[in-house]
Amino acid sequence: MLSIDGVTDLWDQLLGAQPDPPGLLVLLTAVAGFLAVAFRPVWRVARNAVTIAHEGGHALFALLTGRRLRGIRLEFDTSGLTLSAGRPTGPGMILTLLGGYIAPSLVGVLGAWLLGGNRITLLLWLAVVLLLLMLINIRNLFGVVSLVITGAIVFAVSWYASAQVQAVFAYAGVWFLLFGGVRPVFELQKLRSRGRMRDSDADQLSRLTHLPAVFWVGLFLVVNLVALLAGAFLLAGQWLPAGTP
């Protein structure tokens, strides 16, 4: 068992601020995050992280609006499904559907805010906790394996890696979510323009609100672009030279 001093040290490590990262590290991880989204072979694999955040967003908004979460599925093709019980119409259902496509970007902004305060360890541990909470509601084998592997990687980095490696991992992950929240919106509209995904979140929102689906696609895009700019602003102070206005 941990001693009182051990618990105190662990708490201080969790809530304490780490040293400022080199500005070049922040800039290079931004480039890496962008390339991971832009380069199709990497995106096909890394997109699983965006799907996890997407389905987690549906689940969180469902719970916040009083709906009962029935389960989450993550599929090998990077698609996912979140089921909840409650009224099939009304604000709760609308917010639950809305939460998916904006969740990765909002998580990215939260991560950028924590990194702006040099709370790298706190960010990594929060990620582990959220992944564990999501794991409880997973209802298929691939989803369990995907979350266990993702959580194990994040935990291993937070527990065993050096401060420099933790910083690279955390900044690259946050940049990836900020950029990665935007691309699926374009993919969604591309598929919709070809007559596919007629039951997409945007189309379900359209049926609920009688607003065109393209309005909701546009809203997803605006929110995610604003989140990208906000996240970049929060991190800008760490890669711009000191004294830059």
The model carries a pTM of 0.91
Torsion from C-alpha of 24, 25, 28, 29, nearest 10 degrees: -150
* Alpha-carbon distances of 122 from 8, 35, 152, rounded to whole Å: 15, 26, 16
Please tell me what DSSP assigns to residue 2: -
Q: What is the pLDDT along the chain (245 residues), one digit of tens a residue?
A: 545 655 555 555 666 667 778 888 999 999 999 999 999 999 999 999 999 999 999 999 999 999 999 999 999 999 999 999 999 999 999 999 999 999 999 999 999 999 998 899 999 999 999 999 999 999 999 999 999 999 999 999 999 999 899 999 999 999 999 999 999 999 999 999 998 888 999 999 999 999 999 999 999 999 999 999 999 999 987 665 544 44
What is the CB neighbour count within 10 angstroms for residue 205?
22
CA-angle at 106, arms to 104 and 108, nearest 5°: 70
Long-range contacts, 211-215 (Cβ 8 Å, 24+): 214/189
Whether the CB-CB separation of 208 and 65 falls below 8 Å is answered with no
pLDDT digits (tens, 9 = 90+) for 94-124: 999 999 999 999 999 999 999 998 899 999 9
Residues near 244 by beta carbon (within 8 Å), at least 6 away in sequence = none
Q: Encoding tokens for residue 136?
A: 């409880």
Instruction: Tell me the Cα Rg of the chain.
Output: 19
> Hey, where are the domains in the chain?
22-239
Token pair 């609308």 is at which residue?
94
Torsion from C-alpha of 119, 123, 124, 128, nearest 10 degrees: 150
Cα(150)–Cα(131) distance, integer angstroms: 8
Cα(176)–Cα(208) distance, integer angstroms: 32
Q: Encoding tokens for residue 25?
A: 């590290």
